[in-house]
Amino acid sequence: MFFTPKSRAQAMAEKANLKAGGRVLEPSAGHGALINAALAIAPDSDIVAVELNTGNAKVLKSKEGIQLHNADFLTLTPSDLGLFDSILINPPFTKNQDIKHILHAAKFMAPNSTLVAIASTSWLTGSQKIQEGFRLWLGVVGATIEELPVGEIWSRWP
């Protein structure tokens, strides 16, 4: 399992346009590094975390002030969770899961909201339909792409 390092989580939260009292979503929340970073900037945020792994969900349950859904994010809808002002996501990468999670997370965006995500680089040159579609979608929504330094993203946890 790979979790977001504190420095990357802080940088992502700074880009998320967090609003006082705003709603924040972290899908595939792991141990909540992105939640912690969001709360450091906007402590009065309404935080919703989604985490499928039961062990990780137990860690998240210990955090005060968050609403936890121990579920597969890809099965949830805006009817289940609502819409959000800021979405911070570091999804799983294998088999284009990052693309699937990011596209799904976009469905939860309120008007004038921000989604900040970490993704693998497979979509840059991949020829699979989902990778090509993701490149097109990023252009349509006017996404800003930032390449991270090699090795910066990952902290490995047992």
Angle at 71 between CA 69 and CA 75, to 5 degrees: 115
Q: How many domains does the chain have?
A: 1
Per-residue CA distances from 28 to 50, 67, 127, 153 (Å): 6, 13, 26, 16
Confirm whether 73 is domain-assigned: yes
Confirm whether 126 is domain-assigned: no
The one-character DSSP state at 149 is P
Confirm whether 25 is domain-assigned: yes
Spacing of C-alpha 135 from chain mean position: 18
Residues of the chain with pLDDT under 50: 153-158
Spacing of C-alpha 137 from chain mean position: 17
Confirm whether 138 is domain-assigned: no
Residue 73: CATH number of its domain: 3.40.50.150
| Segment 20-60, tens digit of pLDDT | 899 999 999 999 999 999 999 999 999 999 999 999 999 99
Q: Is-contact 17 10, C-beta < 8 A?
A: no
* φ/ψ of residue 121, rounded to 5: -95, 5
Q: Which domain holds residue 81?
A: 2-119
Confirm whether 70 is domain-assigned: yes
Confirm whether 127 is domain-assigned: no
Confirm whether 15 is domain-assigned: yes
Confirm whether 31 is domain-assigned: yes
pTM higher than 0.85: yes
